[in-house]
């Protein structure tokens, strides 16, 4: 009797406004407007106005099985005033003291219970603001998009996942918006209060308008995810299944003018080889970002000397035996504003190509049914090949067609003195028969350098079916050898890439050990661009991936596959020449030509990945893989064994300790000798002293070994007439950061980073020497009118 009484006192309202039940498809919500009401955002819904707010309730389960009533009860209260919209969340938990919640840094709540509010302010069912909170009101925000996996923001933006996780998908969490939230744990659940100012978002310019809305909730103890709108898997669009806030009127943003002056200072140290000791060079940089809300749906942003804001080194990625470039996420505030509007298929716009800009300007928003995104920036002279200032330009236009379809144009240029690289393209995304979409793109590029003028097209076609039990994705992309996306990220050219992907999913009954199980069958073929259709594929493979969700939130995923590769497509061996043209083999008395096998066939491999549920204090995952591989530097067959493990430990609500280890070892197929190895352990310790004050330590060690090169008969290989030798690098990087961030745009960063190296891996002895270090400071203040 005590628990129900406590629930009634802490969670139940004393009165109720209009109720909208999601499972009853009461999805057109007319929320009340109160022009004079005021509330204190403190996580206590005790002001009288909350008793008259609209109530969104009756959620449905989406993960692991859709279309079932949710196990937990959730109520979301909504109302609005002239300048902001307000949400009050009552999240009931009837399984006891199982709520997962920590005091965390912004956007770092993936291991916590959480609620996400999706606001589609244009009501176009193609893009929505994401405002997330954990039970303490710690904020998560970003943009959720439909259709494109070509994130202009890099590897953390875009990219549809195969997990079926409703909180994943095409989501970019890099943007930060100004909004208020506070929450608290109460017996039987938690309560969160949220205020989102209209000044912080873009929306339609009409006097009366409708917005799309959905509310998502995740309970970590079970791994279940719920949705207020009854979202089903058998649909090509997630946002199209949202509800609506209807009849919003007379929204007032006032003057939207923001300025953020930024001061950064650094002192970088390195050994003084001429005089001995340690030498520091320092510098300061004054910059500023500014944003003007030209209209409610259009923003103009400018920057001078933007700071990179990369106060932590990029997470290490395995680079041994990689043929193609790796991408990293965008972090600079200026580029993050409206960045999702630059997304295109095949990532033709990737802002980290602008390395050290001195100035930039951007216009982003929506005019009628058309998204408009324009960007111009001047890069540093040290990024020029001609001694000039490189200038970047990007244009992305995309117009809505019907309910979910779109058509778009993209144009980019990089001007470097007399050199240039330009492209122009068009694309369409057509949703049909509710479950299917077709996506087509055609692009052409023109590049001129001192060596001459070249160019070539990119073609792409995809057909997708998103069914509950059966789904597929078929895609063909052709990239000409001389195609160049200088403002984008297309890391392989000169090939046609064909992919066939099929998914079969089975669902277990509620409470069963096996809740969902999906089989993903993939076939890939890569053809030479010039001979597509008239020759056999040069690379490819097949794989079977089984993804299973078990009771309690466990995940188990085995994979088996076969692949084959062509060494003649490896252009990284001899830059500027034919593959392996600079290779010779040392014989008994002289050097001979290097023989390159055409392909490496039947490279069988397997992998297994296991992820634990999100327990109160830790989450862990581990994966292992082994199988045949091509050693591209030697054009020979090898065998690779890799494993990785990660643990996220939360010993207290203010402390997070994350550790991970990635390992890769490659042995030669001819004799089993070790060709290369790479070990990357990483440790991150975070302490959230208060909502605004954050301390972090990151340590990452990278140990790489690679043997000298030998051919298939064990003879030494010469590259450019020079014998190769074994190489090793054992590097340690440590970074400390103090952060004071009372709100997005207003912050103080104080940091120190140091790079060290040693001759023997993981010795940590006297031979561990510092090779570089640096102190870093940043002060920024957001002026908002």
CA distances from 330 to 314, 317, 353, 390, 393 (A): 10, 16, 10, 19, 17
State mean pLDDT over 407-418: 96
Q: CA 533 to CA 170: how far, in whole Å?
A: 33
Q: What is the pLDDT of residues 664-699, one digit of tens each?
A: 999 999 999 999 999 999 999 999 999 999 999 999
Beta bridge partners of 83: none
Which of 485, 382, 378 shows the shortest CA–CA distance to 425?
485
Per-residue pLDDT, 308: 61
Q: What is the pLDDT of residues 604-653, one digit of tens each?
A: 999 999 999 999 999 999 999 999 999 999 999 999 999 999 999 999 99
CATH architecture of the domain with range 2-247: Sandwich (2.60)
Per-residue pLDDT, 159: 36
pTM of the model as a whole: 0.88
| pLDDT of residue 588 exceeding 80 | no
| pLDDT of residue 315 exceeding 80 | no
Domain spans, the chain: 2-247
Q: What angle do CA 511, 517, 520 make, to 5 degrees?
A: 165
Pick 437 or 333 by higher pLDDT: 437
4-18, 193-207, 311-325, 715-729: least confident range: 311-325
Mean pLDDT of the chain: 89
* Residue showing tokens 């009288």: 48
State mean pLDDT over 706-713: 93
| pLDDT of residue 5 exceeding 50 | no
Q: 4: part of which helix (H) or strand (E)?
A: helix 2-10
Per-residue pLDDT, 152: 63
Which of 213, 242, 221 shows the shortest CA–CA distance to 71?
221
Per-residue pLDDT, 15: 56
Q: CA 138 to CA 101: how far, in whole Å?
A: 9
């Amino acid at each position: 009797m005590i628990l129900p009484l406590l629930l009634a006192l802490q969670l139940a309202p004393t009165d109720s406004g209009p109720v909208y039940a999601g499972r009853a498809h009461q999805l057109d919500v007319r929320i009340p407007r109160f022009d004079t009401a005021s509330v204190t955002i403190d996580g206590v819904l005790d002001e009288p106005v909350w008793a008259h707010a609209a109530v969104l309730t009756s959620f449905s389960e989406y993960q692991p099985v859709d279309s079932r009533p949710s196990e937990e009860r959730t109520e979301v209260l909504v109302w609005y005033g002239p300048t902001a919209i307000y949400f009050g969340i009552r999240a009931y938990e009837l399984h006891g003291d199982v709520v997962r919640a920590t005091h965390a840094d912004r956007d770092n709540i993936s291991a916590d219970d959480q609620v996400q509010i999706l606001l589609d302010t244009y009501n176009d069912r193609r893009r929505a603001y994401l405002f997330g909170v954990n039970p303490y009101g710690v904020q998560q925000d970003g943009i959720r998009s439909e259709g494109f996996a070509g994130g202009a923001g890099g590897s953390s933006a875009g990219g549809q996942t195969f997990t079926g996780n409703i909180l994943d998908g095409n989501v970019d969490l890099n943007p930060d918006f100004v909004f208020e939230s506070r929450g608290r744990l109460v017996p039987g659940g938690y309560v969160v209060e949220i205020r989102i100012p209209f000044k912080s978002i873009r929306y339609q310019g009409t006097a009366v308008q409708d917005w799309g809305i959905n509310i998502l909730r995740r309970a970590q103890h079970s791994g279940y995810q719920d949705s207020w709108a009854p979202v089903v898997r058998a649909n090509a669009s997630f946002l199209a299944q949202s509800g609506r806030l209807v009849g919003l009127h007379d929204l007032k943003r006032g003057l939207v003018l923001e300025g953020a002056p930024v001061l950064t200072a650094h002192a970088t140290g390195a050994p003084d080889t001429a005089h001995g000791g340690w030498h520091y060079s320092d510098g300061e940089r004054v910059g500023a970002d500014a944003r003007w809300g030209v209209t409610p749906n259009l923003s103009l942003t400018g920057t001078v000397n933007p700071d990179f804001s990369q106060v932590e080194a990029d997470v290490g990625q395995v680079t041994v035996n990689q043929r193609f470039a790796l991408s990293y996420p965008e972090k600079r505030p200026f580029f993050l504003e409206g960045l999702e509007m630059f997304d295109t298929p095949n990532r033709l716009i990737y802002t980290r190509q602008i390395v050290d800009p001195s100035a930039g300007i951007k216009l982003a928003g929506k005019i009628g049914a058309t998204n408009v995104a324009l960007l111009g920036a001047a890069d540093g002279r040290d990024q020029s090949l001609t001694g000039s200032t490189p200038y970047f330009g990007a244009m992305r236009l995309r117009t809505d067609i019907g309910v979910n379809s779109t058509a778009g144009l993209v144009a980019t240029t990089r001007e470097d003195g007399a050199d240039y690289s330009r492209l122009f393209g068009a694309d369409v995304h057509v949703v049909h028969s509710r479950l299917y979409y077709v996506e087509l793109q055609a692009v052409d590029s023109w590049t001129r350098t001192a060596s001459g003028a070249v160019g070539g097209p990119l073609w792409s076609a995809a057909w997708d079916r998103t069914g509950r039990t059966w789904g597929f994705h078929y895609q063909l992309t052709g990239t000409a050898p001389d195609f160049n996306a200088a403002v984008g990220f297309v890391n392989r050219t000169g090939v046609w890439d064909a992919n066939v992907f099929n998914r079969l999913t089975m669902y277990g009954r509620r409470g069963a050990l096996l809740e969902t199980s999906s089989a993903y069958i993939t076939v890939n073929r890569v053809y030479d661009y010039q001979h597509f259709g008239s020759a056999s594929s040069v690379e490819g493979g097949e794989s079977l991936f089984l993804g299973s969700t078990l009771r309690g939130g466990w995940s188990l995923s085995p994979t088996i596959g076969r692949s084959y590769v062509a060494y003649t497509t490896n252009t990284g061996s001899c830059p500027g020449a034919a593959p392996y043209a600079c290779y010779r083999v040392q014989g008994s008395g002289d050097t001979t030509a290097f023989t390159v096998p055409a392909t490496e066939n039947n490279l069988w491999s397997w992998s297994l990945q296991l992820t634990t549920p999100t327990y109160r204090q830790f989450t862990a995952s581990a994966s292992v893989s082994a199988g045949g591989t091509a050693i591209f530097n030697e054009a020979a067959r090898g065998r690779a064994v890799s494993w990785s493990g990660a643990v996220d430990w939360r010993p207290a609500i203010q402390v997070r300790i994350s550790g991970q280890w990635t390992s890769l070892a490659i042995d030669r197929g001819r004799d089993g000798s070790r060709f290369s190895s790479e070990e990357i352990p990483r440790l991150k310790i975070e302490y959230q002293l208060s909502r605004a004050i954050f301390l972090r330590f990151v340590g990452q060690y990278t140990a790489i070994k690679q043997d000298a090169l030998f051919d298939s008969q064990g003879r030494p290989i010469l590259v450019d007439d020079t014998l190769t030798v074994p190489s090793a690098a054992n590097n340690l990087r440590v970074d400390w950061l103090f952060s004071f961030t009372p709100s997005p745009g207003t912050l103080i960063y104080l940091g120190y980073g140091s790079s060290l190296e040693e001759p023997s891996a993981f010795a940590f002895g006297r031979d561990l020497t510092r090779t570089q270090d640096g102190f870093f400071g940043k002060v920024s203040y957001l002026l908002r009118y």
